[in-house]
């Protein structure tokens, strides 16, 4: 059994490496030539991923071969697709990368091959769109090939241990597909669970994200109320939480490719079915999290008013612009959005981030500012410290 992994990003490469380490021949496909060369020479292009150096060093260029060409994977028997899905400006999923990947797989698909999608997608995507793309390009019918869905559950930095320990689900678009995919995956994912079908597996991944988004929104709302009534939210949270209560932490909102994206899959799906009221809580939570930057902007301005200078001359430093501490990633970063919001209001807001150079920050259209040079510092990863200098 030779396995192709399409997409060698933060989720795909650890998966490809773990599969190779389980004794399979793996062909990894990625559009990035530099990345393929790195891997083939045994070097890890994602150094922050724990344990990946060792696996790439051991298998890269040997049983794990990276390539930009789908043709090189034409003798594989299984195709695992794990490429990104973004939202367009209307918060609808943009399937371009997925469609390209599956149509390319379709062109090399053979009888009895098995295809598995890992990217988080709206429920129904695998059985509808993916099946159509594959059938159109391959001229095979489902039943002649097998199709399943198994959502990645990685966490940047811990992806390998997650694959080896964390529960993972898998479901087929038909029974035979589910069983075959389960048998294959069991060989490299020990904690694997077969569910009724692909749609259920898709839904499972999305609702985990929804749980997080809604609970972060709840934490943000309770934080605002606590501030309003003069209670220390962090003290209250610590004492309220126990085995039946899991209040999350407040934040500037939710960024990155996952949590702020997944609720939209269900919101848009319900809108398409004209069930507008069926995703109210998801929508309010999304808005509440996205609007937290307005709340923090007001807090920062209150602090600026205490500085004896005209308001637009008070030097503000937004400390930390990545969406999460320690991950150089700005997708839907609310910290970046907060810095832009303050600048838009006509305030003198600069940013500082340990992962960026002044030049990179200026390319984003923002001003670089060292915390030491600011009158008011807002640390996006330590929300409670609004520091007034001097």
Considering only CA atoms, give the Rg of the chain: 23
Query: What minimum distance in Å lies between the beta carbon of 342 and its own copies?
Result: 20
Q: Say how far apart CA 366 and CA 351 lie, in whole Å.
A: 7
Pick the closest to residue 222 from 246, 194, 193 (CA basis): 246
Burial class (CB in 10 A: 0-12, 13-18, 19+), 179: middle
Residue of 366, 365, 368 whose CA lies nearest to 354: 368
Least CB distance from residue 160 to its own copies, whole Å?
18
Query: Is the Cβ of residue 217 or residue 339 nearer to its own copies in the bound state?
Result: 217
- Residue 38 phi/psi, 5-degree rounding, is -50, -55
Q: What angle do CA 51, 56, 57 make, to 5 degrees?
A: 100
> C-alpha 269: how far from its chain's center?
20
CB of 152 to its own copies, least distance (A): 14
Active site residues: 205, 258
Q: Shortest gap between Cβ of 250 and its own copies (angstroms)?
A: 12
Helix ranges (DSSP H) in the chain: 12-21, 33-40, 52-59, 96-108, 131-138, 159-165, 175-185, 198-229, 233-240, 262-272, 280-290, 292-304, 334-344, 358-363
Look up residue 299 and give its two tokens.
């807090």
CB of 161 to its own copies, least distance (A): 14
Phi/psi at 349 (nearest 5 deg)?
A: -100, 120
Q: For residues 28 and 260, which CB has a smaller minimum distance to its own copies in the complex?
A: 260
Residues that bind its own copies (CB under 8 A): 123-124, 166-167, 169, 193, 195-196, 199-200, 203-205, 207-208, 210-212, 214-215, 217-218, 221-222, 224-226, 228-232, 235-237, 239-240, 242, 244-247, 266, 269-270, 273, 275, 278-282, 284-285, 288
Least Å from the CB of residue 147 to its own copies: 18
Which residue number, 204 or 364, has a Cβ lying nearer to its own copies? Answer: 204
State the greatest distance between any 2 C-alpha atoms of the chain, in Å, as a whole number: 75
Query: Cα–Cα distance between 49 and 160 in angstroms, integer?
Result: 8
């Amino acid at each position: 059994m030779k396995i192709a992994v399409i997409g060698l990003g933060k989720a795909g490469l650890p998966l490809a490496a773990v599969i190779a380490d389980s004794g399979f021949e793996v062909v990894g496909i990625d559009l990035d030539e530099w990345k393929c060369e790195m891997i083939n020479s045994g070097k890890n292009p994602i150094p922050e991923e724990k344990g990946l150096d060792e696996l790439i060093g051991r298998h890269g260029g040997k049983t794990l071969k990276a390539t930009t060409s789908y043709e090189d994977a034409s003798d594989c028997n299984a195709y695992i697709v794990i490429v990104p899905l973004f939202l367009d400006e209307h918060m609808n999923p943009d399937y371009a990368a997925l469609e390209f990947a599956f149509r390319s797989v379709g062109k090399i698909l053979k009888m009895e091959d098995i295809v598995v999608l890992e990217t988080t997608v709206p429920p129904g995507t695998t059985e509808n769109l993916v099946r159509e793309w594959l059938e159109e390009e391959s001229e095979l019918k489902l039943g002649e090939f097998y199709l399943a869905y198994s959502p990645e559950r990685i966490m940047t930095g811990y992806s390998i241990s997650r694959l080896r320990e964390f529960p993972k689900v898998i479901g087929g678009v038909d029974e035979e597909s589910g069983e075959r995919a389960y048998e294959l995956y069991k060989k490299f994912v020990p904690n694997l669970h077969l569910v009724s079908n692909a749609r259920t597996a898709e839904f499972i991944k999305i609702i985990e994200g929804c749980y997080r988004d809604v609970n972060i929104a709840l934490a943000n709302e309770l934080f605002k109320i606590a501030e309003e009534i003069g209670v220390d939210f962090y003290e209250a949270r610590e004492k309220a939480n126990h085995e039946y209560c899991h209040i999350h932490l407040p934040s500037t909102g939710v960024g990155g490719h996952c949590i702020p994206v997944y609720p939209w899959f269900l919101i848009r799906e319900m809108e398409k079915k004209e069930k507008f009221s069926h995703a109210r809580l998801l929508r309010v939570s999304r808005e509440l999290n996205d609007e937290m930057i307005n709340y923090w902007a007001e807090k920062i301005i209150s602090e600026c008013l205490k500085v004896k200078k005209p308001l637009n001359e008070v030097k503000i430093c937004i400390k930390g612009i990545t969406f999460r501490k320690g991950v150089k990633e700005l997708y839907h970063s609310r910290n970046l959005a907060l810095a832009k919001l303050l600048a838009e209001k006509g305030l003198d807001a600069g940013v500082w981030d340990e992962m960026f150079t002044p030049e990179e920050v200026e390319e984003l259209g923002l001003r670089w500012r060292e915390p030491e040079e600011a009158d008011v510092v807002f640390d996006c990863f330590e929300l409670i410290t609004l520091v007034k200098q001097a």
